[in-house]
Amino acid sequence: MKKVLFVASECVPFIKTGGLADVVGSLPKNFQKEYFDVRVVIPKYTFIPDEYKQQMQYVTNFYMDLNWRQQYVGVFTMVLDGVTYYFIDNEEHFGGERPYAGMPWDLEKFAFFSKAALSILPVVDFRPDIIHCHDWQTGLVPVYLHERFAGSDFFRGIKSIMTIHNLKFQGVWDMKTIKSITGLADYYFTTDKLEFKRDASYLKGGLVYADAITTVSRTYAEEIKTPFYGEGLDGLMRARANDLRGIVNGIDYDVYNPESDPMINHHYDARTFRREKAKNKTDLQQQLGLDVDPKKMMIGIVSRLTDQKGFDLISYMMDELCQDEVQIVALGTGEAKHENMFRHFAWKYGNKVSANIYYSEELSHKIYAAADAFLMPSLFEPCGLSQLMSLRYGTVPIVRETGGLKDTVEPYNEYEGTGTGFSFANYNAHEMLGTIRYAERIYYDRKREWNKIVDRGMAMDFSWHTSAMQYQELYDWLVG
């Protein structure tokens, strides 16, 4: 049996700020238990809900040196859904209101966490064959594994994997501070190791020393080898191309299920969506004060409102789009200019545009179930989960061909009768509008064709089971 340890800064259901938590919380449950023993270690944040804290059992505590001072390490454990979790306790680092305090505080916090995650292994008597690290917060794990743990028999031969969820975040700070925090020798701060544009980068260290590298879609794995997407690390990504692979994330098919979702009013599946899905639309139109008309095309947007997600394209074309026979329902928060753009158009076209500038899990499910199409014109998108949820709910994605969007949405081809959505290639507002209008034309003039696109989308399988099988292959390849 292969033993694997996931090391990450967040994990559902304990703590979540983004998609990383979904991966770390969902993936371990989906491995074949007879072949893989997958466990997870995360920080024991003080704001983890009490219902979980009460289930944790104290294991032990000890002191660990982090360069120039001794630090307390408490270890707690619990089993949830058949997965063993370890929690590293240290109130100085993991107290406070939220998991990330910003730089430079997070550097010491996650240097401590990375070292502690390795230090607890002999104590909890778990020797993994593979340590699977997620994002820059755990970038020092492969470095420490190479530097001070490799000498002991217990750690010898343990392999490491580094998964990039978003290359934009790298844990970069000035070299002197990082040397002081990590206690690593000067040897590690050269251009082929942690040095990054005269500073130092946690993520780069992990990418240099990990035995394998993954990212969250095949296309993103190719894109990050280019200067535009590579965030300064494209050279390293090209150098490690043979060790790099892209595996698309999944979504939880029990949580996102139009047949049983408790947050939506009318349940449906691939057989009944023609009748039932529109009932969710008229409910939402009433709830949000839009014109109630089951035949009117509704475009949904659920997103962080940032430039990365393509909102400068949308704001450029919004006035023109509002001349069409469509309704637009947006949900999310982000940059003030994008929030205000949606507020403005909701004021100007009150019966057509609904701007919900907050976040609500329940409303997001209602939008996935009610909308006919889902708009996601991202500048870059390592994986993207909203398009997977849309496909699951029979809502046709309209996306830009980048990263995970390109891998998961097959563009509609009217001549071959194939495709699960609509897509455009260039980051261009007119091209986006042209694609939306093409989708409108199919929706209004060729309804049977539209329904077939929905059918094909709902038949796709982007459950975690599929991702887990690909990770299992990687683990087998790495440790034979």
pLDDT in tens, 463-473: 999 999 999 99
Q: With 80 as the cut, is the pLDDT of residue 5 above it?
A: yes
- Residue 474: phi, psi to the nearest 5? -60, -45
Q: Is 136 left (phi over 0), alpha (psi -120 to 50) or beta?
A: alpha
Task: Report yes or no: 240 and 173 within 8 Å, Cβ to Cβ.
Answer: no
302 and 380 both lie in a single domain: yes
In this prediction, residue 30 carries a pLDDT of: 92
pLDDT digits (tens, 9 = 90+) for 235-261: 999 999 999 999 999 998 888 999 999
Read off φ and ψ for residue 146, nearest 5 degrees. Answer: -75, -35
Indicate if 40 and 58 belong to the same structural domain: yes
Name residues whose C-beta falls within 8 Å of residue 387's C-beta, 6 or more positions apart in sequence: 374, 376, 397, 399, 404, 405, 408, 409, 421
* Residue showing tokens 């074949």: 32
- Supply the pTM of this predicted model: 0.89
Q: Is the pLDDT of residue 423 over 90?
A: yes
On whether residue 260 sits in a domain, the answer given is no
Residue 5 pairs in a beta bridge with 39, 131
186 — pLDDT class (breaks 50, 70, 90): very high
- The pLDDT > 70 percentage for the chain reads 100
Q: Residue 255: what pLDDT?
A: 87
pLDDT at residue 111, rounded to an integer: 96
Please give the mean pLDDT across all residues of the chain.
94
Rounded to whole angstroms, the Cα distance separating 166 from 379 reads 13
CB within 8 Å of 35: residues ≥ 6 apart: 1, 2, 472
76: domain range? 2-250+465-479
Instruction: Flag whether 267 is in a domain.
Output: no
Quote the CA–CA distance of 187 and 250 in Å, as a whole number. 39
Check residue 206 and give its pLDDT. 97
Say whether both 47 and 9 belong to one domain.
yes
pLDDT bracket for residue 374 (50, 70, 90)? very high
Q: What is the pLDDT of residue 422?
A: 98
**Does 371 lie in the same domain as 309?**
yes
Whether 343 maps to a domain, the answer reads yes
- Domain membership of residue 256 (yes or no) is no
HSE (CB half, 13 Å, CA atoms) of 330?
Answer: 28
> Under a CB-based contact definition with an 8 Å cutoff, are residues 67 and 182 in contact?
yes
- 431 lies in a domain? yes
Closest by Cα among 154, 157, 163, 109 to 129: 157
Over residues 10-60, the pLDDT tens digits come to 999 999 887 788 899 999 999 999 999 999 999 999 999 999 999 999 999
Q: Do the domain assignments include residue 263? A: no
Rounded to an integer, the average pLDDT of 304-308 is: 91
Q: Domain total for the chain? A: 2
Is 133 part of any domain? yes
Look at residue 406 in the predicted model and tell me its pLDDT. 96
CA contacts within 13 A on the Cβ side of 162: 31
Whether 183 and 235 map to the same domain: the answer is yes
Rounded CA separation 115/145 (Å) = 9
Residues 6+ apart with CB under 8 A from 359: 331, 332, 333
Residues 6+ apart with CB under 8 A from 91: 46
Q: Is the pLDDT of residue 212 over 90?
A: yes
- pLDDT over 90 for what percent of the chain? 91
Banded model confidence at residue 268, pLDDT cuts 50, 70, 90: very high
Query: Does one domain contain both 285 and 239?
Result: no
- Residues 210 and 334 placed together within one structural domain of the fold: no
List the structure tokens of 340. Answer: 């205000």
* CATH number, position 305: 3.40.50.2000
* Rounded mean pLDDT, 379-407: 95
| pLDDT score of 98 more than 90 | no
Task: Please state whether 57 falls in left (phi above 0), alpha (psi between -120 and 50) or beta.
Answer: beta
pLDDT for 148 equals 86
Q: Do residue 343 and residue 424 come from a single domain? A: yes
Is 243 in the same domain as 277?
A: no
Residues 387 and 412 in one domain: yes
The pLDDT score that the predictor gives to residue 150 is: 82
Residue 334 zone, left/alpha/beta (φ > 0; ψ -120 to 50; rest): left
Q: Determine, yes or no, domain membership for 262.
A: no
The reply to whether 83 and 202 lie within a common domain is yes
Mean pLDDT to the nearest integer, 347-354: 94
pLDDT at 96 over 90: no
One domain, residues 285 and 342: yes
Q: Is the pLDDT of residue 151 over 90?
A: no
